[in-house]
Amino acid sequence: MDMHTRLKEARIRAGYKSGAAAARRLGLAASTYNAHENGQNEFGPDHAEAYGRAFKVSAGWLLTGNGSIEPTSSTAYPDPEIDDLSEGTKAHSPISNKARIKSLLQPDQIPLYGDLDGFGDYIAAPQNHIDMIEGPRHLVETLGAYALRMPGTSMEPRYHEGETLFVVPRTARPGQYVVVQYLQETDEFEQAIWQVARYEKVTGANRVFSRYNGPDLVIPNEKIRAIHEIIATGGW
């Protein structure tokens, strides 16, 4: 049984009637998921993490066919990437695959996203997490939960640059502190970025987010990919 057949089996086992339904649950383009399931494209550890957790199977089993189909308590944390992960992502070597699969078996950890060099008050939507860290147990057990390294000083004194923010992937409400993931247009191209802010309101075709040290973000609804609630900070 190849990885594509295992993926289809896992989807059906999890109760998703179609690849499109599974893609919607994962926040992926249907074309991306279907290409993985029908054998058009292979998938690596990043997608295996997402599929493993969503379908409640072992990410290692999805990738290699080895071991039990049943997940461990630390099974694959999904990548909250808001772009199509198949675009521009380099193939993982067998060595890196083994290292990534091993990392999935570390207990009570969630992926940490951010950039070691920094981009001011935002981060470019990451392709991969930079570390696995311990988090609150109820968060570790939440599908799609992740941590983010605070970019810049736009939210001081509430959040300090480099501070760890713990995030749940449920849609936030006005009045909450959030990670907003959206497409930002420049003169030359459009890029996906993440920013930390306070969700203020919906006004017309836009949503408004405030920051302590910087102008409000007024983002067209059509450009927003996700608004996730920050529920905790610090170390665990």
- On whether both 196 and 158 belong to a single domain, the answer is yes
Q: Does position 106 have pLDDT exceeding 70, yes or no?
A: no
pLDDT-derived band at 105, boundaries 50, 70, 90: very low
Task: At 199, list the tokens.
Answer: 């969700």
Predicted TM-score (pTM) of the model is 0.56
Q: 10 Å Cβ neighbour count for 235?
A: 8
- On whether both 18 and 99 belong to a single domain, the answer is yes
Q: When comparing pLDDT for 170 and 179, which is higher? A: 179
Q: When comparing pLDDT for 101 and 94, which is higher? A: 101
Between 19-26 and 3-14, two packed helices, what is the crossing angle to 10 degrees? 80
Number of domains in the chain: 2
CATH of the domain at 99: 1.10.260.40
DSSP state letters, 150-186: PPSSTTTTTS-TT-EEEEEEEEP-TTSEEEEEEEEE-
- On whether both 130 and 221 belong to a single domain, the answer is yes
pLDDT-derived band at 214, boundaries 50, 70, 90: very high
CA distances from 121 to 22, 62, 79, 196 (A): 33, 37, 22, 8
- On whether both 40 and 132 belong to a single domain, the answer is no
CATH of the domain at 232: 2.10.109.10
Instruction: Tell me the average pLDDT across 183-187.
Output: 80
